[in-house]
Every structure is written in structure tokens, then in C-alpha cells.
Amino acid sequence: MFQRALHGRRVHSRCGDGGAAAVEFAIVVPVLLIILLALIDFGRLFFGQVSLAAASREGARAASVGRAEGDVDSIIQSSAPGVARVSSLGTTTALARQGGTCSGAVGDQTASVTVSVPFDWVTPVELLQFYDPDSTLGEITLSSESEMLCVG
């Protein structure tokens, strides 16, 4: 328990501190893991939203110049490759689209395209329902809408 120092004084040994360090580690690690998972989720969330905005803008541009429905769909899918897989953790592989193309008239008519994809959390957000049972945080759908004038 006591050890002799160089000058003959007794010094307490620190042999019994291993248990306290293990308890502190067990308390801190889950909190740090939740923070890490939340950072990953918010990065995926922002990536998905920015990609959806670009895809809806490209889809609206294609629809405004009179492209066919199939062409608009393929342009949207190619504008945001992989965003559906990243946002939904692999359960969805294609973006959902709403809206149509221009019907030949130009001027005041607009082509509106809405692109959406479900978002699945990695972070266990179900734990938040302990505090708020009516929370719908776990059910998020990312979406973006773009509208452009028909030009021909």
C-alpha cells in the first residue's frame, strides 16, 4: 500500500483507481457514441437535402423545356445518384417524383417538380419518445420542390 520514495517518505500507490476509471469510461462512452451517431446522421441529412434540391432543379429544368416524363425521371435519378440509398440506409433505391411536364404552351405556365425520399436514422431517436410519446422524429421524409417557366 505504501511505497518508499527516494528520500524516505511514504507515497500512496494508485493501485485501486482502476475501478473508478472503468466506471467513468462506462458512463462517458455511450454519450460519446450518441454524439458521433448524431453527427453522422446530420451529415447524411444535409447531403440528402442538398442532393434533392439539385435533382428537383434539374427535373424542373428538363420538364420546362418539354422533355417526356420518362426523360425527366431519368434526369432526376442521374442528378442525385445514391442519395436514396444513403438517406434510407439501402431500403429505397429510387427517388419519388411528383409533377408534370409542360403541355406545349409557353408563357405563364410553369413546370413544377417535387422529389422526395424517406430518411432513416442511425441514431436511436426512439429513445426521445420516452420524453415525448407523440414525437414523430423517427419518421422523416426529405423533399424538395422546384418550379420553372415553360420555355418550349
Taking phi over 0 as left and psi of -120 to 50 as alpha, with beta for the rest, 127 belongs to: alpha
Tell me how crowded residue 55 is: count the other CB atoms within 10 A of its CB.
Answer: 26
Residue 14: predicted pLDDT: 58
Give 101-148 pLDDT, tens digit per residue: 776 656 678 888 999 998 888 888 777 667 777 777 777 889 999 998
119: part of which helix (H) or strand (E)? Answer: strand 110-119
What integer is the mean pLDDT of 88-97?
Answer: 80
Task: Indicate the pLDDT class of residue 5, thresholds 50, 70 and 90.
Answer: low
Residue 1: predicted pLDDT: 47
Residue 18: predicted pLDDT: 67
* Helix runs in 6-82, H state only: 18-64, 69-79
- Separation between Cα atoms, residue 116 and residue 142, nearest integer Å: 5
Give 11-26 pLDDT, tens digit per residue: 555 566 668 888 888 9
The residue with greater pLDDT, 144 or 8, is: 144
Q: Residues 52, 138: contact at Cβ < 8 Å?
A: no
Task: Indicate the pLDDT class of residue 150, thresholds 50, 70 and 90.
Answer: confident
- Separation between Cα atoms, residue 16 and residue 27, nearest integer Å: 19
Give 26-43 pLDDT, tens digit per residue: 999 999 998 999 899 999
pLDDT over 60 at 2, yes or no: no
Q: Residues 59, 39: contact at Cβ < 8 Å?
A: no
